[in-house]
Structure 1
């Protein structure tokens, strides 16, 4: 019977095999420890490393007996504790004391900046200078708005896509072309409507914005709506409707039913949630539902004069 050598891979492999057969499947320490290189001034603090099993018998490996007063103690070592070279043992990743919490200070700053804007141009400048949303650093352009800021009708989507990010304007890709046709069907165009998004920067890969990203950008779009002060608001898609109408209902339940968006100053704006043009491109059969919603908007605008 021979002791395991730290420089002999065969010995180490057999020792690990013994631990595996004994049911050892996890380390007792968060970080791996090279106990061969470890200097232990007090032998009583740690149990000695068990010797390798008898190599002549693979069918019945048992740990060799240990001598000394500590032989009755269970060894503190485990399979993950051994390494051929201590310098190659990677450091265990640091564990945060608490879960990561988004910086609420950026949300507060966004609210302050939005509230301080007295014009749309000031709001645009504040948003362009704001670095509190991580989406800004992966987007090419700020996508602020398009259309006529004096229009009676305002439409709000969720976030820019690739084409919008490149041009710096909302709804200029396939979804935008469909939206133009939808507006034309009720006698409107970009000269008689104002278009924006809840999120002014394109999320990487067109992924869904996180709730925190949405919360950071919310004050900007709410102030934008307040400054435009349209007679009617159209929420294009579920995210826009949920964010601006403070609801958790799905868009298929929301659409076609008038809701109210209330600004910070207390102005109540009639809001029509409807299906996003991108959704309609994927589900053409539902275009008839959006058509009905736009007819409702046309009738409301006519009634409001």
Structure 2
């Protein structure tokens, strides 16, 4: 199969606003805002009535401001990514949480950041919450509360036709793309160790700050495959005009969690109750269906499952 020129590939990925980020590692580096994007805000996107009992559980700082400040890596379409204006954060996570925030009677201010800086931003008080397709792990739960709201696995993607005959279970010596600080980076690092332990060449990881860069690398031929969260990987396949295809099935499914400061258990439980209400009235599944990711819907919302 012929390969797209790199310049075309990068332009394509940038235009489509492709992205990716569900992570496993608790990397709290001090990365800067995603792509220098301006802070964006939005109001509630549903007509759900304000629940005074839920609103009473908001932290005093949020009640006073009337705004929930959310740190997010806006490079992870369709979960969270920048719109055509290059500033407005949009996606499944945005629509879903805006619907939840409406029940508290507050607005949401989405603040783009590098993925590996968000948890530190929450624990340090820069953000009220982190919402960025975070996989729930024991390591993270030691640092913050995590409210489960969705589930996703890892999906590999290659150029259409898999011209390099990539096998995810035997990728020794191949060049594979992945986003920094994600479960996929951990997975590939472990797979690479198995290669070297067996006397085979290591996997050559091309690690990028944003999933949009990872996708562009694959479309342009810099890598022969990439691994990302299943909804993000499959969205990339749909958006690249036949340039990419899924390789095999998703594996290692795990819940995503909203990140909340460790001392704010009442707020975390209130978010669970708001999710249950959104599930009951249909707005939860509507937010997922809008972006074609309803397969990952859950009903057992919980704090630190």
TM-score tier (shorter)? under 0.3
Higher helix proportion: 1
Q: TM-score, normalised by structure 1?
A: 0.28
Q: TM-score, normalised by structure 2?
A: 0.28
Q: Kindly indicate whether structure 1 or structure 2 has the higher relative contact order, using CA contacts under 8 Å at least 6 residues apart.
A: 2
Higher strand proportion: 2
- Bigger Rg, which one: 1
